[in-house]
Structures are given as C-alpha cells and as structure tokens.
Amino acid sequence: MKTKALFLDRDGVINIDYGYVYQIEKFEFTKGVFELLRLFLENGYLLFVVTNQSGIGRGYYTQEQFLDLTDWMLEKFREENIEIVSVLHCHHAPEEQCGCRKPATGMVDEILKNNEIDLENSWLIGDKQSDIDLAINSNIKHTIAIGERKIKNATLSFKTILECKLFLEENKDIIAL
C-alpha cells in the first residue's frame, strides 16, 4: 500500500534561516514545528527532509559538519516523538548544474525509489519558489509556502510555521484525507 508523505525543506521551515546554518548554536527550531509535524504523523504521513546545502559546494562548511548537525537535529526530533524517515541533501553549488538541487527532482526521485508514496495525497512545505516548483516537478500534489516571499502556485500560504500549525489544527480534515 502506498503511504502519504510530507516533504520538508529545512532552513526557513524546520529551523530559522540565518543563512548557511551548520552549527548547533545557530540551529533554532521554528515555533510550532514539533506540533505541526506530530499532526502529520498522527494522520499517517511519513516525513522526509529535502534540503539544498550549496554551502558545502561553495566551501562554507563540510559535508561532515552538515551530517553532524543532521544527527543532532534527528535526536532532538526523537526526543519530541518525531521520526524522520530520511534527510536528503544536495551539496552542489548552482553552477554545477546537478540533478538534485531543488527545483530539480533528484532527491524526491531517490525517496520514491525506496518508498511507496501516494503523491496525490502528499504535501510539501517550503519557503522558496524552488521548493514549490520541486513539488510541481515531482507531482507532489499539495504545497504550503511559509514566509514573506512572494511565492506562486502554493496550495496554502502562511507567514510562519506557527500560523500554519494553528490553521491545520483547526482544519484537520485538509490533511486527514
């Protein structure tokens, strides 16, 4: 049987985007993100993170530093009873023109190879046009745009993760399908 999935961007969605965050000290979870993710878990979604990390390709930090931070993040999630199936990242700089930097579909393709996902009933949450365009390119049906940027073609838009969480708590049927 195919399972619904929630695809999550990291910076600006899970943590506050201070720009090229790779240190634990700078990793600040957004308000309401734990409750929001538990809401999706309660409704039967598998959680995946898909994140562009061009800071690695640009030489601002190493893959190892990114992976250490990821381990720490996953441990914090576990303490909050949140299990993330996997975290995929693109380490390339834009000029490398890889197939995994969002909005290219490489990371989602990889997830779909290993998991039976019901894309028609899946969601993606991001804070950039490239996130929403990834969903469109990958046939992930529903999207949520977070933040102040002008983003086109999202199903729902909220200024903050907290607003998104409050809305979905009041409108659970939207993700209960």
Among all residues, which ones are annotated catalytic?
9, 11
- Tell me what percent of the chain is helix, strand and coil, each rounded to the nearest 5: 40, 20, 40
With vertex at residue 155, the alpha carbon angle to CA 109 and CA 47, rounded to the nearest 5 degrees, is 45
**92 near Zn ion (CB under 5 A):** yes
The binder of Zn ion chosen from 90, 135, 140, 144 (CB under 5 A)? 90
**101 near Zn ion (CB under 5 A):** yes
Interface stretch with Mg ion, choices 8-16, 77-85, 94-102, 117-125 (CB under 5 A):
8-16
**102 near Zn ion (CB under 5 A):** no
Provide the minimum distance between the beta carbon of 102 and Mg ion in the complex, in angstroms, as a whole number. Answer: 9
**11 near Mg ion (CB under 5 A):** yes
Burial class for 115, CB neighbours closer than 10 Å (0-12, 13-18, 19+): middle
Provide the minimum distance between the beta carbon of 92 and Zn ion in the complex, in angstroms, as a whole number. Answer: 4
Rounded CA separation 9/82 (Å): 16
Q: What is the DSSP string of 56-71?
A: HHTTSS-HHHHHHHHH
Interface stretch with Mg ion, choices 10-18, 55-63, 70-78, 96-104 (CB under 5 A):
10-18
**9 near Mg ion (CB under 5 A):** yes
Partner whose footprint covers residue 142, from Mg ion, Zn ion, none (CB < 5 to 8 Å by kind) = none
Rounded CA separation 38/78 (Å): 11
Spatial contact of 14 and 165, defined as CB atoms under 8 Å apart = no
Provide the minimum distance between the beta carbon of 26 and Mg ion in the complex, in angstroms, as a whole number. Answer: 15
The binder of Mg ion chosen from 12, 32, 55, 106 (CB under 5 A)? 12
- What is the torsional sign of CA 68, 21, 132, 8? positive
Give the rounded distance of the alpha carbon of 110 from its chain centre: 15
Which parts of this chain interact with Zn ion (CB under 5 A)?
90, 92, 98, 100-101
Which parts of this chain interact with Mg ion (CB under 5 A)?
9, 11-12, 127
